[in-house]
Amino acid sequence: MGEVTIFINDKPYEVSEDSTVLQACEEAGVYVPTLCHHPALSDVGACRVCAIEVEGARTLMTACTTQVRDGMKVKTNSERVEMALRQNLSLILSRHPNDCMTCEMNGRCELQNLVDRYDIEDIYTKELRNVEIDNTSPAIIRDLNKCVNCGRCVRVCEEIQGLQIYTFSERGAESLPVPAYDLPMKYTDCIACGQCSAVCPVGAIMEEPDYKKVEREIRKHEKVLIVQTAPATRVAISEEFGTEPGHISTGKMVAALRRLGFDYVFDTNFGADLTIMEEGSELVEQLSGHGEHPSPMFTSCCPGWINLLEKHYPEFIPNVSSAKSPQEMLASTVKTYFAKKIGVEPQNIYMVSVMPCTAKKDEIVRPQHTIDGVQMIDEVITTRELARMIKNHKIKFLDLPDEDYDDPLGLSTGAAVIFGVTGGVMEAALRTGYELATGKTLPKVEFQDVRGFTGVKDAEVELDGKKVKIAIAHGTKNVMNLLDKIKNGEVHYDFVEIMACYGGCIGGGGQPKSIDPDVLKKRAEAIYSIDEASTLRKSHENPAIKQLYAEFYGKPLSEKSKKLLHTFYTNRKSSVLERMAALSGTE
């Protein structure tokens, strides 16, 4: 691609000819304020905050939608631009409530930052909306009184997730992004992935703030407090404290959780190793012709995918592994095996998960995950929520010494940590599946063909002379395209890994918000570096896993493991009319 010369505030810059003015300014280090822009989404110029003056143009342009051209002269700091910016922000502020003190986005709100930076005052009469807050979803809460009409939620749900849950209603200042027929989220086809909450610049769409319940339980401390942390959290949480994406903060996160008051800190990676033992054994049975699933067999650890399965593709329910997700496997083990070890009744354990994913909040309330009347996980908090707790407690995160997880459920392998990135579950399953199926040592543990950010990847691997066709899909739009091809007989696979969020768990809806276009790449590199540095890199080599089977589960797919570590799925596909009837309570 060629380059052109443009002049930004009278200084010449060489930029790519396919750049927008906003991209050119970012490359040149010239700050341009934005509100509706996000690097992962298309630009629409909705907020008008990135107004620029282009020589020869009669009106101000938006930097995010204006393409550069050779010789273009741009002003980002003229009096005309400043006046337009201030007026636009004042108009947005006139529709926005002044409840920053109680807003979950206080201190992290993009609008708040702009208002502070440009010293914007309420010069217009407030015309606040009166929209009922929607908290019907266990995963996200919508307060459209705070909406700034940036359209990010609409675009991420359409362009990346392909679900089109949101659309703009009304026109002009009255316009709001709402589901069809303005249905509450509980009654929509939403899969609780939380990508809308991850890109919302204000507090209009947020994860359900369950950290407040956790705080109350910590203060009471009437139960044994146990927490587990997912693989992807350790390469992202420090972003909330100012580090670059991909900074590995495992030990500091463990130390922070102990200082918050938890009695035991366990690693969801242990649950991931356990998942591979169960799911890998299913795969071996499948490939030997004795499995219980039709081909292809699908992975089951992503709750957003399970919601998609049940709501959109119930015909594939028989194909999905019955293995629970790693957080549920670990929790089931904690409230049975570990509870006996420490002499505590399951109902006297308060189990918390720290997850990169908002759909995990939805997963824990599924009736399938209640055993003998006890819900296995009491609360899920996101990476963002944990960071908020740490800040509220005035814990200096980056100054903390590194600490280790508690035994015996804190030991894990490199195979477990790569669960956090797209292709990781497949790679971990192949590492164990190969050796369980062949009895031979895997000559090389890395499977490069399953790595990378291509939306759908496929490959053929050899297991003891047998060719196995595999596929990996991430980002729900890519997933649906693949599922449709499988359903129509256009492609055939033996084993398929599915992640609802683009990039896998590292790009989960509960991760720190970022406008770094390379954020997923940086987090993925950190995940793989942890794997490469691990002494144990195959799930079946984890001595704590071997001990657990010897003492409690017996073997993978045993009667006890089937009861505690496996689940089932239900057809939840329904029409809009059926959902509206359910909402109204009519038949």
pLDDT in tens, 132-169: 999 999 999 999 999 999 999 999 999 999 999 999 99
Is residue 200 domain-resident? no
The pLDDT tens digits for 26-55 are 999 999 999 999 999 999 999 999 999 999
Q: Is residue 132 part of a domain?
A: no
Assigned domain for 158 exists:
no
| Judgement on whether residues 260 and 404 belong to the same structural domain of the protein | yes
Indicate the DSSP class of residue 182: G
- Three-state DSSP class for residue 442: coil
Domain count, the chain: 2
Q: What pLDDT score was predicted for residue 587?
A: 45
Evaluate whether residue 112 is within a structural domain: no
- What pLDDT score does 117 carry? 96
CATH number of the CATH domain containing 408: 3.40.50.1780
CATH number at residue 10: 3.10.20.740
- The pTM (predicted TM-score) of the whole model is 0.95
What residues in the chain have per-residue pLDDT under 70?
Answer: 1, 586-587
Contact 523, 406 (CB under 8 A): no
What pLDDT shows up at residue 491?
97
- Report pLDDT for 470: 94
Question: Which residue, of 92, 112, 141, is where some domain finishes?
Answer: 92
Task: Tell whether 170 is covered by a domain.
Answer: no
The residues that bridge with 498 in the sheet, in sequence order, are 473
Q: What is the 3-state secondary structure (H, E, C) of 15-73?
A: EECCCEHHHHHHHHCCCCCCCCCCCCCCCCCCCCCCEEEECCCCCCEECCCCECCCCCE
> Is 124 among the domain residues?
no
Q: Give, in order, the Cα–Cα distances in Å from 478 to each of 76, 297, 432, 457.
A: 38, 18, 27, 10
Cα–Cα distance, 491 to 484 (Å, whole number): 10
DSSP letters spanning 314-380: GGGGGGB--BPPHHHHHHHHIIIIIHHHHT--GGGEEEEEEES-SHHHHHTTSGGGEETTEES-SEE
Range of the domain at 419: 211-565
Residue 195 inside a domain? The answer is no
Q: Is residue 149 part of a domain?
A: no
